[in-house]
Amino acid sequence: MPRKNLEILDYYEARLFGFGEPTLGNPDDFMEMANEYLSRLAVFSPRRAQLLRNRLESFLSEAVFLDNIPLSEIDDLGVTLPPECVWRQVVNQNPTLLPLGKSYLIDRVLWSQLSSLQRVGLVFHEIFYRESTSHTSQGIRRLNGLLATKN
């Protein structure tokens, strides 16, 4: 059955690659879910979990939210989406377009339509990507999707 809500690609791929259904505790509490995510990461890398915790605390202050902005699509899907799905860019990291001290340009309309679970995944995807030297986010999506599942 097709999903009618927005879903980040990381979570779609988590199911596609057999990681399971993303779940992070209380679906109404963003911080509780973020803390569970960081606890899962800390099992493998306590230092990385602490770094991400620090980045999480500053994420919103480093974001610029604008309504219905035409964000450049990053062409790194790597998977075929079902025909009923539409790919939309929600966040873009382009420091040349942003004021000093800002790192994330976010489409406020799409952001507001995301569940807390989806927001947690999107925030950590962007934090990981900021730290990455890769030109694609394919590996980040797999790691992010895996951390959001109980497997």
Tell me how far CA of residue 21 lies from CA of 17, 92, 138, in angstroms.
11, 26, 18
The verdict on residue 1 lying in a domain is no
- The encoded tokens of residue 117 equal 């679970």
- Average pLDDT of span 4-17: 89
The verdict on residue 68 lying in a domain is yes
Helix (H) or strand (E) holding 115: none
pLDDT digits (tens, 9 = 90+) for 47-74: 999 999 999 999 999 999 999 887 777 7
The verdict on residue 133 lying in a domain is yes
Q: With 50 as the cut, is the pLDDT of residue 3 above it?
A: no
Q: With 90 as the cut, is the pLDDT of residue 147 above it?
A: yes
The verdict on residue 4 lying in a domain is no
Query: What does pTM read for this prediction?
Result: 0.90
Closest CA to 8 of 45, 62, 16, 35: 16
User: How many percent of the chain have pLDDT more than 70?
Assistant: 94
Question: Cα separation of 18 and 151, whole Å?
Answer: 9
pLDDT digits (tens, 9 = 90+) for 91-135: 988 767 788 889 999 999 999 999 999 999 999 999 999 988 888
The verdict on residue 3 lying in a domain is no
- Average pLDDT of span 34-42: 96
The verdict on residue 142 lying in a domain is yes
Number of separate domains in the chain: 1
Q: Domain range spanning residue 91?
A: 9-147
- Average pLDDT of span 71-92: 80
Q: Output the pLDDT for position 71.
A: 79
Amino acid at 144: N
In this prediction, residue 4 has a pLDDT band, given cuts at 50, 70 and 90, of: low
Question: Cα separation of 74 and 120, whole Å?
Answer: 20
- Average pLDDT of span 82-94: 86
- Average pLDDT of span 11-35: 93
The verdict on residue 2 lying in a domain is no
- Of the two residues 23 and 85, the one the predictor is more confident about is 23
Q: With 80 as the cut, is the pLDDT of residue 78 above it?
A: no
The verdict on residue 87 lying in a domain is yes
